[in-house]
Chain A
Amino acid sequence: GAVVSQHPSRVICKSGTSVKIECRSLDFQATTMFWYRQFPKQSLMLMATSNEGSKATYEQGVEKDKFLINHASLTLSTLTVTSAHPEDSSFYICSARKAWGEAFFGQGTRLTVV
Protein backbone atom coordinates (compact mmCIF):
# COMPACT_ATOMS: atom_id res chain seq x y z
CA GLY A 1 0.00 0.00 0.00
CA ALA A 2 0.88 3.66 -0.21
CA VAL A 3 1.78 5.92 2.69
CA VAL A 4 0.23 9.28 3.43
CA SER A 5 1.69 11.33 6.26
CA GLN A 6 -0.28 14.07 7.95
CA HIS A 7 1.29 16.55 10.31
CA PRO A 8 0.79 17.59 13.04
CA SER A 9 -1.27 14.87 14.68
CA ARG A 10 -2.45 17.23 17.39
CA VAL A 11 -2.43 20.99 17.67
CA ILE A 12 -3.79 23.45 20.18
CA CYS A 13 -4.00 27.06 19.14
CA LYS A 14 -5.41 30.28 20.48
CA SER A 15 -8.56 31.75 19.07
CA GLY A 16 -7.78 34.16 16.24
CA THR A 17 -4.56 32.49 15.12
CA SER A 18 -4.00 30.40 12.00
CA VAL A 19 -2.98 26.77 11.85
CA LYS A 20 -1.43 24.89 8.94
CA ILE A 21 -1.86 21.15 8.46
CA GLU A 22 0.30 19.26 5.99
CA CYS A 23 -0.57 16.16 3.99
CA ARG A 24 2.22 14.35 2.17
CA SER A 25 2.19 11.30 -0.07
CA LEU A 26 5.49 9.64 0.77
CA ASP A 27 5.93 7.01 -1.90
CA PHE A 28 3.69 8.07 -4.76
CA GLN A 29 2.61 11.15 -6.63
CA ALA A 30 -0.88 12.28 -5.78
CA THR A 31 -2.71 14.10 -8.50
CA THR A 32 -5.60 14.73 -6.17
CA MET A 33 -5.89 15.11 -2.44
CA PHE A 34 -8.99 15.46 -0.33
CA TRP A 35 -9.62 17.18 2.98
CA TYR A 36 -12.26 15.90 5.37
CA ARG A 37 -13.59 17.03 8.70
CA GLN A 38 -14.92 14.59 11.26
CA PHE A 39 -16.83 15.30 14.45
CA PRO A 40 -16.78 12.72 17.26
CA LYS A 41 -18.60 9.50 16.35
CA GLN A 42 -19.72 10.97 13.07
CA SER A 43 -18.88 10.39 9.46
CA LEU A 44 -16.24 12.11 7.36
CA MET A 45 -17.46 15.25 5.71
CA LEU A 46 -15.64 16.23 2.53
CA MET A 47 -14.47 19.83 2.71
CA ALA A 48 -12.56 20.24 -0.53
CA THR A 49 -10.74 18.55 -3.37
CA SER A 50 -7.20 19.68 -3.92
CA ASN A 51 -5.68 19.33 -7.40
CA GLU A 52 -1.99 19.88 -7.99
CA GLY A 53 -1.31 23.18 -9.71
CA SER A 54 -4.87 24.44 -9.67
CA LYS A 55 -7.38 25.90 -7.27
CA ALA A 56 -9.12 23.65 -4.83
CA THR A 57 -12.76 22.76 -5.30
CA TYR A 58 -14.74 23.40 -2.14
CA GLU A 59 -17.90 21.63 -1.12
CA GLN A 60 -21.05 23.63 -0.56
CA GLY A 61 -21.06 25.41 2.77
CA VAL A 62 -17.29 25.34 3.27
CA GLU A 63 -15.75 28.80 3.52
CA LYS A 64 -12.89 29.16 1.08
CA ASP A 65 -11.34 32.08 2.92
CA LYS A 66 -11.51 30.22 6.18
CA PHE A 67 -9.98 26.98 5.00
CA LEU A 68 -7.15 27.76 2.60
CA ILE A 69 -5.86 24.84 0.57
CA ASN A 70 -2.63 24.78 -1.37
CA HIS A 71 -1.43 21.86 -3.49
CA ALA A 72 1.88 23.13 -4.75
CA SER A 73 3.43 19.78 -5.64
CA LEU A 74 2.40 16.23 -6.45
CA THR A 75 3.30 15.11 -2.94
CA LEU A 76 2.12 17.92 -0.69
CA SER A 77 -1.17 19.62 0.10
CA THR A 78 -1.71 22.00 2.98
CA LEU A 79 -4.84 23.11 4.78
CA THR A 80 -4.65 26.39 6.68
CA VAL A 81 -7.41 27.19 9.12
CA THR A 82 -7.35 30.97 9.27
CA SER A 83 -8.47 33.01 12.26
CA ALA A 84 -9.44 29.85 14.08
CA HIS A 85 -12.33 29.85 16.53
CA PRO A 86 -13.46 27.22 19.03
CA GLU A 87 -16.12 25.98 16.60
CA ASP A 88 -13.31 25.02 14.20
CA SER A 89 -12.11 22.47 16.73
CA SER A 90 -12.42 19.10 15.04
CA PHE A 91 -10.56 16.16 13.56
CA TYR A 92 -9.23 16.87 10.08
CA ILE A 93 -8.21 14.03 7.75
CA CYS A 94 -6.56 14.14 4.37
CA SER A 95 -6.46 11.49 1.71
CA ALA A 96 -4.35 11.21 -1.40
CA ARG A 97 -5.26 9.45 -4.59
CA LYS A 98 -3.05 7.99 -7.27
CA ALA A 99 -3.78 8.61 -10.93
CA TRP A 100 -6.56 6.12 -10.60
CA GLY A 101 -7.07 3.94 -7.66
CA GLU A 102 -8.04 3.91 -4.04
CA ALA A 103 -7.50 6.80 -1.72
CA PHE A 104 -4.99 6.51 1.07
CA PHE A 105 -5.58 8.36 4.30
CA GLY A 106 -3.35 10.34 6.61
CA GLN A 107 -3.40 9.77 10.34
CA GLY A 108 -5.56 12.82 10.96
CA THR A 109 -5.06 16.03 12.92
CA ARG A 110 -6.93 16.86 16.08
CA LEU A 111 -7.33 20.62 16.23
CA THR A 112 -8.33 22.29 19.47
CA VAL A 113 -8.91 26.04 19.48
CA VAL A 114 -8.91 27.63 22.92
Chain B
Amino acid sequence: AQTVTQSQPEMSVQEAETVTLSCTYDTSENNYYLFWYKQPPSRQMILVIRQEAYKQQNATENRFSVNFQKAAKSFSLKISDSQLGDTAMYFCAFTDGSSNTGKLIFGQGTTLQVKP
Protein backbone atom coordinates (compact mmCIF):
# COMPACT_ATOMS: atom_id res chain seq x y z
CA ALA B 1 0.00 0.00 0.00
CA GLN B 2 1.14 3.50 -0.74
CA THR B 3 1.80 5.89 2.11
CA VAL B 4 2.70 9.56 2.34
CA THR B 5 4.49 11.00 5.36
CA GLN B 6 4.93 14.59 6.38
CA SER B 7 7.06 14.71 9.50
CA GLN B 8 6.73 18.42 10.26
CA PRO B 9 3.34 19.17 11.88
CA GLU B 10 4.07 22.89 12.16
CA MET B 11 6.57 25.32 10.72
CA SER B 12 7.05 29.05 10.69
CA VAL B 13 9.01 31.43 8.51
CA GLN B 14 9.60 35.14 8.36
CA GLU B 15 8.05 37.03 5.51
CA ALA B 16 10.34 37.17 2.44
CA GLU B 17 12.42 34.23 3.59
CA THR B 18 12.56 30.71 2.21
CA VAL B 19 11.10 27.60 3.78
CA THR B 20 11.17 23.94 2.82
CA LEU B 21 8.44 21.44 3.68
CA SER B 22 9.35 17.77 3.72
CA CYS B 23 7.46 14.82 2.31
CA THR B 24 8.38 11.19 1.85
CA TYR B 25 6.31 8.47 0.28
CA ASP B 26 6.37 4.76 -0.21
CA THR B 27 5.26 2.90 -3.29
CA SER B 28 6.29 0.00 -5.46
CA GLU B 29 4.86 1.67 -8.55
CA ASN B 30 7.01 3.32 -11.18
CA ASN B 31 4.27 5.43 -12.73
CA TYR B 32 2.77 7.95 -10.34
CA TYR B 33 2.15 11.62 -9.69
CA LEU B 34 2.93 13.75 -6.69
CA PHE B 35 1.22 16.94 -5.62
CA TRP B 36 1.40 19.69 -3.07
CA TYR B 37 -1.92 21.18 -2.03
CA LYS B 38 -2.48 24.28 0.05
CA GLN B 39 -5.44 24.62 2.40
CA PRO B 40 -5.79 28.18 3.73
CA PRO B 41 -8.14 29.09 6.60
CA SER B 42 -11.03 29.11 4.12
CA ARG B 43 -10.38 25.34 3.81
CA GLN B 44 -10.53 25.43 0.03
CA MET B 45 -7.98 22.96 -1.33
CA ILE B 46 -5.70 24.61 -3.88
CA LEU B 47 -3.20 22.81 -6.07
CA VAL B 48 0.24 24.34 -5.64
CA ILE B 49 2.39 22.13 -7.82
CA ARG B 50 2.49 18.69 -9.41
CA GLN B 51 5.28 16.37 -10.45
CA GLU B 52 5.15 13.43 -12.81
CA ALA B 53 7.38 10.62 -11.60
CA TYR B 54 8.77 9.97 -15.06
CA LYS B 55 10.11 13.51 -15.31
CA GLN B 56 13.56 14.04 -13.89
CA GLN B 57 13.28 17.81 -13.93
CA ASN B 58 11.91 19.34 -10.77
CA ALA B 59 8.62 21.18 -11.21
CA THR B 60 8.48 24.92 -10.50
CA GLU B 61 5.58 27.35 -10.27
CA ASN B 62 6.71 30.90 -9.63
CA ARG B 63 7.88 31.00 -5.99
CA PHE B 64 7.16 27.31 -5.46
CA SER B 65 9.53 24.55 -6.45
CA VAL B 66 10.03 20.94 -5.54
CA ASN B 67 13.04 18.75 -4.92
CA PHE B 68 11.99 15.37 -6.27
CA GLN B 69 14.35 12.57 -5.32
CA LYS B 70 12.81 9.45 -6.84
CA ALA B 71 15.31 6.94 -5.49
CA ALA B 72 14.95 8.33 -1.99
CA LYS B 73 11.17 8.70 -2.42
CA SER B 74 11.34 12.25 -1.26
CA PHE B 75 9.30 15.19 -2.51
CA SER B 76 9.97 18.45 -0.66
CA LEU B 77 8.38 21.83 -1.37
CA LYS B 78 10.41 25.02 -1.30
CA ILE B 79 8.61 28.32 -0.94
CA SER B 80 10.78 31.31 -1.79
CA ASP B 81 10.10 34.90 -0.80
CA SER B 82 7.37 33.77 1.61
CA GLN B 83 4.28 35.94 1.76
CA LEU B 84 1.65 36.33 4.45
CA GLY B 85 -0.86 34.73 2.09
CA ASP B 86 1.19 31.55 2.11
CA THR B 87 -0.01 30.88 5.65
CA ALA B 88 -1.95 27.64 5.33
CA MET B 89 -1.88 23.93 5.87
CA TYR B 90 0.10 22.15 3.16
CA PHE B 91 -0.55 18.59 2.09
CA CYS B 92 1.67 16.34 0.07
CA ALA B 93 -0.32 13.85 -2.02
CA PHE B 94 0.30 10.81 -4.19
CA THR B 95 -1.69 9.16 -6.94
CA ASP B 96 -0.93 5.94 -8.73
CA GLY B 97 -0.70 6.50 -12.47
CA SER B 98 -0.94 2.84 -13.38
CA SER B 99 -4.30 1.96 -11.87
CA ASN B 100 -5.77 5.25 -13.04
CA THR B 101 -8.24 5.47 -10.17
CA GLY B 102 -7.28 9.05 -9.55
CA LYS B 103 -7.38 8.33 -5.84
CA LEU B 104 -5.26 10.77 -3.87
CA ILE B 105 -3.37 9.66 -0.78
CA PHE B 106 -2.56 12.56 1.49
CA GLY B 107 0.14 13.11 4.06
CA GLN B 108 -0.68 14.33 7.53
CA GLY B 109 -0.18 17.96 6.60
CA THR B 110 2.16 20.74 7.70
CA THR B 111 0.78 23.96 9.12
CA LEU B 112 2.87 26.86 7.88
CA GLN B 113 2.78 30.23 9.57
CA VAL B 114 4.36 33.17 7.75
CA LYS B 115 5.27 35.89 10.23
CA PRO B 116 5.45 39.58 9.35
* 5 tightest A-B CB contacts, nearest first: A105-B45, A97-B102, A43-B106, A44-B106, A108-B43
Contact with A along B83-116 (1 / 0, CB 8 A): 0000001010000000011111111110100000
With CB as the reference atom, state the residue of chain B lying closest to A98.
B102
- B103 and A43 form a contact (CB under 8 A): no
Q: How large is the interface on B (under 10, 10 to 19, 20 to 34, 35 or more residues)?
A: 20 to 34
Contact with B along A72-114 (1 / 0, CB 8 A): 0000000000000000000101010100101101011000000
Q: Is the interface of A mostly helix, strand, loop or mixed?
A: strand
Cross-chain contact of B100 among A34, A42, A100 (Cβ < 8 A): A100
Interface size on A, residues (CB 8 A): 19
CA distance A49 to B108 in the complex (A): 20
Is B56 in the interface zone, CB < 8 Å from A?
no
CA distance A107 to B106 in the complex (A): 18
**A46: chain B residues within 8 A (beta carbon):** 103-105
**A108: chain B residues within 8 A (beta carbon):** 43-44
Cross-chain contact of B43 among A34, A49, A91, A103 (Cβ < 8 A): A91
Is B75 in the interface zone, CB < 8 Å from A?
no
CA distance A93 to B46 in the complex (A): 12
Cross-chain contact of B111 among A34, A41, A44, A100 (Cβ < 8 A): A41
- B106 and A49 form a contact (CB under 8 A): no
With CB as the reference atom, state the residue of chain A lying closest to B6.
A43
Contact with A along B23-67 (1 / 0, CB 8 A): 000000000000100000011111100100000000000000000
Contact with B along A36-53 (1 / 0, CB 8 A): 001001111010010000
Cβ distance A71 to chain B, nearest Cβ, rounded Å: 14
- B47 and A41 form a contact (CB under 8 A): no
- B45 and A93 form a contact (CB under 8 A): yes
